[in-house]
Amino acid sequence: MAGLIIFFVILSLVFVYGVFIYNQLVQVKHNVGRAWSNIDVLLKQRHDELPKLVETCKQYMQFEQDTLEKVMQARSQVASARESRNISALGQAESALRSGLGNLFALAEAYPDLKTNETFRHLQARISGLENAIADRREFYNDSVNINNVRVEQFPDVVVASLFGFRQFPLLRFSVEEKKDVDIKQLFNS
């Protein structure tokens, strides 16, 4: 009789501990979703601002159409990756867009009228602010993903995770080129 009571107490403790782990895994999974939503909102805001920037630049930069087209093309790729939640494609598209924006802002230095245009300055500051916010949110997203990925791999969480289908999420990474400084001399010599 005492052995049966001990068995049910141990079984109850294991069950309670399993529920505790399950609830923590749910919380970690939702943190990843929340972190992604934060990035998604910022990407959408930047997506809406870029056509305004390009139109403003077109008025001054008649000879820089290639740079403007690259920015709009990268914008489209980011939107497509964002909508499909393809983190790998988003990282690549973000790298292309950030490179294009860096080139655009560097080339704008050659156009004094554009640099003093209030709309351009406002859009440049707005997009730069969004870029900084995206970088902050990317860090938060990657931290959330890392916590999730560690939890679904470590014991005893891995048992509960595999029973209930919890999965790992990919990190949001940008290419090596995106991390390098823009070569301003090369921009003006091409």
Report yes or no: 35 and 155 within 8 Å, Cβ to Cβ: no
The pLDDT value given to residue 54: 87
Identify the CA nearest to 92 among candidates 82, 102, 103, 105.
82
Task: Tell me the pTM.
Answer: 0.77
Report yes or no: 72 and 100 within 8 Å, Cβ to Cβ: no
75-115 per-position pLDDT tens digit: 999 999 999 988 888 988 988 898 888 888 888 888 888 87
Per-domain residue ranges of the chain = 17-189
The CA-CA-CA angle for residues 121, 127, 56, to 5°, reads 50
CA distance 82 to 151: 26
51-61 per-position pLDDT tens digit: 988 888 888 77
The pLDDT value given to residue 188: 39
User: Which residues fall within 8 angstroms of residue 49, CB to CB, at 6 or more apart?
Assistant: 123, 126, 127, 130
User: Which residues fall within 8 angstroms of residue 163, CB to CB, at 6 or more apart?
Assistant: none
The pLDDT value given to residue 104: 87
CA distance 100 to 82: 18
What is the largest distance, in Å, between two alpha-carbon atoms of the chain? Answer: 91
* Tokens standing for residue 29: 């999974």
For domain 17-189, the CATH class is mainly alpha
Distances in Å between the Cα of 111 and the Cα atoms of 105, 106, 121, 123 are 10, 10, 13, 16
Q: What is the per-residue DSSP string for 139-187?
A: HHHHHHHHHHHHHTTSTTHHHHHHHHT----------HHHHSPP-HHHH
Give me the tens of pLDDT residue by residue for the chain, a chain 190 residues long: 888 899 999 999 999 999 999 999 999 999 999 999 999 999 999 999 999 888 888 887 776 788 888 889 999 999 999 999 888 889 889 888 988 888 888 888 888 888 788 888 899 999 999 999 998 999 999 999 999 999 999 999 999 999 999 999 999 887 655 444 444 444 434 4
